[in-house]
Structure 1
Amino acid sequence: MIGKIIGAFVGDRLAKETNAIGGASGAALGVVATTVLRRISLPAMVALGVGGYVAKKVLDKKSAEEQAGAGSPKPTKAPAARSKTTAKAA
Structure 2
Amino acid sequence: MIGRIIGALVGREMDRRDGRGGAKGAAMGWLAGSAMRRMGPLGMILGGSYVAKKAYDRRKLDKMRRGY
TM-score by length of 2: 0.48
Instruction: Give 1 or 2: higher helix fraction.
Output: 2
Choose between structure 1 and 2 for higher RCO, CA contacts under 8 A separated by at least 6 residues.
2
Normalising by structure 1, we get a TM-score of 0.41
